[in-house]
Structure 1
Amino acid sequence: MSDAIKHECGLAFIRLRKPFSYYQQQYQSVLYGLNKLYLLMEKQHNRGQDGAGVAAVKLNTEPGYPFMYRLRSCAQQPIADLFSQIGKEIDEIEKYQPDIKSHPGLMKGHIPVLGEVMLGHLRYGTQGKNDVQFCHPFIKKNTIPSRNLALAGNFNLVNTEELFSLININPGDFQKQSDLAAMMEVLYHFLIKADEANPGNPSIVHMLKKAMPMFDGGFHFAGITGNGDSFVVRDAHGIRPSYYYINDEIIVAASERAAIRTAFNLEENEVQELMPGTALISMADGSYSIETIVPPQERKACSFERIYFSRGSDEKIYRERIALGYNLSSTVLKAIDYDLKNTIFSFIPNTAETAFYGLIKGAEDYLNEIKIERILSWGNNFNDEKLTEMINRKVRIEKIAIKDVKLRTFITEDASRNEMVQHVYDITYGTVRRNEDTLVVIDDSIVRGTTLKESIIRMLNRLKPKRIIVVSSAPQIRYPDCYGIDMSKMGDFIAFKAAVALLKESGQTHILDEILAKCKELQKVNQLHTENLVRLVYKPFTLEEISNKIAALITPEDINIPVDVIYQTIETLHEACPNNKGDWYFTGNYPTPGGNRVCNKAFINYMEGKDVRGY
């Protein structure tokens, strides 16, 4: 993705179902579970690089001994930092007790994070500051074990303030900035009530059934109570991903199927998807159940997971990204007038590479059809040279763009900053015939268009192509997200800027004022959630008109080479990703009422010149 956006988080959960001595005998390591937690987190590091945390609960501890432990980090490499700290603790103990690893009981007693139930989290900061206090897991402590709770998740809630009021809590400054803090307070409120009803053994199902209907958002979260009960939960629309694996040794859950498969060397069908509205409940005695917590709603699994966020090592995601590129090939071929001889295809590294393969496959299929058609038309009128020339025709591929380093813009002056931004990407010189070749580059999505304008288009211009076509494997991003992606300001979207520019050019800016007035009316009666009024901004224009205006907006004023932009359509997106049809950032079809409220609020903020989040 050329425009960096913060998004998602990663979750890793492990419940050991055997004593530590079993893993020592079976796998020659008391640290089996801890090693697997590290693998699960490392194989999801793409989901969060602002911070990380782990929590563990030890079962059947003696009274007076610690049973819950948490460690968090916001270091530059937080996963490595966490497990380095854990490794140092083990090394220190081994200095005094060299054979401790052969004594599972002693290891459990001396290594704080060595518990039977473990929870790991990777954070991308969509809310709050990048500070260790905002890193998950959060914990609530109590002298009664069953009233201790560790909680972490991948989610955004859009009704945080409302949640605090529902349980009569006046949040502090920290709590106001954290939706996990709000979720924790609600869950803990009902955990206490469940423990009061059944002291020492609160019903996790009862707690979740009371709390989950109150959460407006997309979520995948997990928690552990101090007595060893635990849960992994997914929202009713299945917006955020959730997978699990269970055998007689272990219960595992994570945000990505591929992470579980890699960590445990499993086949695809061995890892199950946690269905929308359900929870995986693991009890202190090692038993488990899958429970329906809230009725499942229309499936709206996030399509951005397939386009960009999830690791492409998952075989289904890989095939879907290939399909995204392939589905664009006919539109691209038409745009270049089928002139493959004078067209070079490339991609914006690194996440667009798989869609690029699909785009090339589509172009190659077309070229092969032409080859067959031409050869058949010759009849017997050909020679070896003519046939060889036809067979050897290929789609021209070059690695044009290179994401060299992550440049840190330490210079504050605008002119100098823009100069630095230009060099985020580098180019491969000598790949394009000047003023002769059309250059087609595919990106997985275009959010703000800033990097395209300030870096990529300028960079490609140095090669002096005849024409530049930027292809997006995602549709136009038109609306804010509030379910885990940090896209909440209307003014950030290049598609919105294009629509506003078209309204101004066509003398229709009154539409913006009319939408604002309607939003204000709804806001007065607390009805902003009832309708997405921002759709009216785009209504006067076709998809092509907005794409053309986007192309104009991302072209620097001093560049004369024609630039075009081609987007995926909603229809071909759903064709490529049939099981992830959550598309609210493209269509404005929000799965929960809070989405409409966030969208309308973001528009109000834009019109009033407020550079703040929509929720």
Structure 2
Amino acid sequence: MEELKHECGVAMIRLLKPLEYYEKKYGTWAYGFNKLYLMMEKQHNRGQEGAGFATVKLNTEPGNEYMFREKAEGKDAITEIFSRVKQDMVGELYMGHLRYSTTGKSGLTYVHPFLRRNNWKAKNLCICGNFNMTNIDHVFQKITAQGQCPRIYSDSYIMLEWMGHRLDREVERNFVEAQRQGLEGRDITDYIDQHVEMSNVLQTTMPDFDGGYVVCGLTGSGEMFAMRDPWGIRPAFYYRDDEVVALASERPVLQTTFDISSDAVCELKAGQALLVKQNGKVDVRQIIPQRGDKACSFERIYFSRGNDEDIYKERLLLGEQLTGSILKAIDKDVHHTVFSFIPNTAEVAYYGMLRGFKQYINQRKIERISNLGHIPTPEELEDILKDYVRSEKAAWKDIKLRTFITEGNSRNDLASHVYDVTYGILEPQRDNLVIIDDSIVRGTTLKESIIKILARLQPKKIVIVSSAPQIRYPDYYGIDMARLEEFCAFRACIQLLKDRHMESLIDTVYRKCKDELQKNDGSMECAVKELYRPFTVEELNVKMVEMLCPADVETPIELVFQSIEGLHKACPNHHGDWYFTGDYPTPGGTRLCLKAFVNYIENVYNQETK
């Protein structure tokens, strides 16, 4: 229902043959650009605030440009940057990026890729990534203590400067070695360009960062690299053959772009880097030992496109597993229940939910026939077989309405019409309406639009189903969910504590958070989890309904959430569940969650209780 912004999408291509090969075989000088464009468009879901690309041309003579970059803002940024492509920008290395901001910082300055220029080819560095670092203050202090002075305080620029500094040292190491071998002039330059080891640069920079990341980069001398965080939080997939090496944030992007099977695509493992040298040699190297197995489960539930073979199956199962909980909510009255979904990302989970109920209906038909005790008459069979799952498209999402009227009431009224319903799909006051979404985060759209719109159909009961568990904790690894008070589950928890005169627990947790923040990062515990322990999931659901249901809606409402166990069963290889459990994979995530609660008490809660 509520759009979550996610940082970001990446695409890389290294052409392994001479440029003339692609023009002759594929009939176009723009083969590399065409593939990059397709890879970026197929990941448009991952970023609509900005886009950029960079290319590197090998074997250029001094006085000629060899490194190109284009950036643009807005939802049409991909089209805009590729409209600027010229034939003299064609190279062997390509890198693209799609941006969603999770920090609130906007403007072309913050659009990837970032470029660090130098007159030595090998010292030119261009990076982009799908990342959010939780300890940027620590890295900032470290590099400024060495005398560096970054122009901008952001994880992207600080990473660029820190990595650029180490790249300078790597170039200088090779310069000394070239001189030791008796080389002079351009021969030294050629030696450096051929012997730069990006693995050395990564090994001396990336261990300093705490966060979820896939960092990609190109150098002016023709090195290409992509590295995944040692916890495996953010995703990366790659493909190679004798013509290209390519990397993307999602597997189907590579399958579609290069017309290959899923078996041909490899996943970059936690702590690994894909390295392609200037000469085209490809290597996958373990830069940092794997520190955990915490691949982001929200990628499977929501962010990645559902056309991935495994993700599609997982989302089906997420919906199917909710059959029992939904049956309880509708008192097993399937005959008088209409099933639907919130467009568009919940559609696959909806099919899974329908599959679960079809199995339930078929089993019930078998039992009815078995219990007859005789061969059924045609009339009896017809009565049994006509039972079916009633599925309809109940909700429609309209284009974004422009709130040109600024008065609060008028704006709220317009906001309530973002969704519309299909009239006449159920019998008023007699049929239940079950509607599934992929997640319920803030609850704003539920309160301002969804519930009011659905209530117009006058169902007997509305059951709103989430294929994800309750979101209780902030994310600090690339999703725009950083403040506790944003989550309707957290607000419901605080309200329940107040209702039951348990404010002392809020006080206790606040003091524990302050104490935990005094510890070393490695020993901190997420004390915020203690707030939820007095309550069951059902108690929080009831309070959320009470808080989110508009005063003028009389239709009974019930919430049904996926269980943590159900999530792990459906997505067995993606154990990153910190937004549901508070079990952060890195010390930086725990520290920021503790800070978020301290900030909530000091800035919000104290104001509310005055």
Shorter-chain TM-score: what band?
over 0.9
Q: Deviations over 1:248-296 (max 9, x none)?
A: 1000000000101011111010011001100000000011100000001
What is the match of residue 221 of structure 1? 215
Is the 1:164–1:171 contact (alpha carbons within 8 Å) kept by the matching residues of 2? no
Aligned pairs (5 A) from 1:197-596: 197-199=173-175, 200=192, 201-380=195-374, 382-524=376-518, 530-596=524-590
Matches of 2:521 and 2:198, distance apart in 1: 34
Is the 2:513–2:528 contact (alpha carbons within 8 Å) kept by the matching residues of 1? no
What is the match of residue 194 of structure 1? 170
Going from structure 1 to structure 2, the CA distance change for 1:366 and 1:461 (only over 3 Å counts) comes to same
Is the 1:8–1:154 contact (alpha carbons within 8 Å) kept by the matching residues of 2? yes
- Cα deviation, residue 81, structure 1: 1.1
Matches of 1:596 and 1:392, distance apart in 2: 54
What is the match of residue 6 of structure 2? 7
Matches of 1:408 and 1:217, distance apart in 2: 37
Q: Deviations over 1:187-225 (max 9, x none)?
A: 112111111111323321111011111010000111001
Q: Deviations over 1:539-581 (max 9, x none)?
A: 1111111111112222111211111100000001010011111
User: Secondary structure of the equivalent of 1:198?
Assistant: helix
- Cα deviation, residue 130, structure 1: 2.4
Q: Deviations over 1:41-88 (max 9, x none)?
A: 0000000000000001110100121111110000331111111222xx
What is the match of residue 52 of structure 1? 51
What is the match of residue 43 of structure 1? 42
Matches of 1:293 and 1:449, distance apart in 2: 41
User: Secondary structure of the equivalent of 1:405?
Assistant: coil
Matches of 1:527 and 1:158, distance apart in 2: 12
Alignment equivalent of 2:134, drawn from 158, 163, 179:
158
What is the match of residue 175 of structure 1? 152
Matches of 1:559 and 1:149, distance apart in 2: 58
Going from structure 1 to structure 2, the CA distance change for 1:474 and 1:425 (only over 3 Å counts) comes to same
What is the match of residue 62 of structure 1? 61
Q: Deviations over 1:285-315 (max 9, x none)?
A: 0111000000012210000000000001111
Matches of 2:381 and 2:162, distance apart in 1: 73
Q: Does 1:607 align with 2:593?
A: no
Q: Deviations over 1:396-427 (max 9, x none)?
A: 11100000112233433221221111011011
What is the match of residue 95 of structure 1? none
Matches of 2:544 and 2:456, distance apart in 1: 21
User: Secondary structure of the equivalent of 1:224?
Assistant: strand
Matches of 1:456 and 1:172, distance apart in 2: 49
Matches of 2:162 and 2:411, distance apart in 1: 44
- Cα deviation, residue 519, structure 1: 2.1
User: Secondary structure of the equivalent of 1:565?
Assistant: strand
Q: What letter matches 1:238 in structure 2?
A: G
Q: Deviations over 1:356-411 (max 9, x none)?
A: 00001101101000101101211335321221121121111110000011223343
Matches of 1:42 and 1:396, distance apart in 2: 36
User: Secondary structure of the equivalent of 2:492?
Assistant: helix
- Cα deviation, residue 526, structure 1: 6.4
Q: Deviations over 1:325-377 (max 9, x none)?
A: 00111111122121111111110011001000000110110100010110121
What is the match of residue 24 of structure 1? 23
Matches of 2:516 and 2:375, distance apart in 1: 74
Matches of 2:427 and 2:265, distance apart in 1: 49
What is the match of residue 131 of structure 1? 107
| TM-score normalised over the length of structure 2 | 0.94
What is the match of residue 100 of structure 1? none
Q: Which one is further off, 380-389 or 534-543?
A: 380-389
Is the 2:15–2:93 contact (alpha carbons within 8 Å) kept by the matching residues of 1? yes
Matches of 1:395 and 1:372, distance apart in 2: 16
Is the 2:428–2:458 contact (alpha carbons within 8 Å) kept by the matching residues of 1? yes
What is the match of residue 178 of structure 2? none
Q: Deviations over 1:142-180 (max 9, x none)?
A: 00110000000001001112111112268879622x211
Going from structure 1 to structure 2, the CA distance change for 1:326 and 1:534 (only over 3 Å counts) comes to same
What is the match of residue 122 of structure 1? 98
Point out where structure 1 has 5 or more consecutive residues left out of the alignment.
Answer: 91-106
Matches of 1:381 and 1:192, distance apart in 2: 85
Going from structure 1 to structure 2, the CA distance change for 1:272 and 1:525 (only over 3 Å counts) comes to closer
Query: Structure 1 vs Structure 2: percent identity of aligned residues?
Result: 49
Matches of 2:150 and 2:424, distance apart in 1: 56
Q: What letter matches 1:197 in structure 2?
A: R
User: Secondary structure of the equivalent of 1:607?
Assistant: helix
Q: Deviations over 1:8-45 (max 9, x none)?
A: 30000000001111001111112111100000000000
Q: Deviations over 1:473-502 (max 9, x none)?
A: 000000000001010001000000010010
Point out where structure 2 has 5 or more consecutive residues left out of the alignment.
Answer: 176-191, 606-610
Q: Deviations over 1:437-480 (max 9, x none)?
A: 11110010000000011100000011111111100000000000
Matches of 1:171 and 1:377, distance apart in 2: 81
Matches of 1:9 and 1:529, distance apart in 2: 31
What is the match of residue 79 of structure 1? 78
Is the 1:73–1:81 contact (alpha carbons within 8 Å) kept by the matching residues of 2? yes
Q: What letter matches 2:24 in structure 1?
A: Q
Is the 1:16–1:250 contact (alpha carbons within 8 Å) kept by the matching residues of 2? yes
Matches of 1:203 and 1:79, distance apart in 2: 32
User: Secondary structure of the equivalent of 2:289?
Assistant: coil
Matches of 1:75 and 1:172, distance apart in 2: 30
Matches of 1:228 and 1:433, distance apart in 2: 66
| TM-score normalised over the length of structure 1 | 0.93
Q: What letter matches 2:267 in structure 1?
A: E
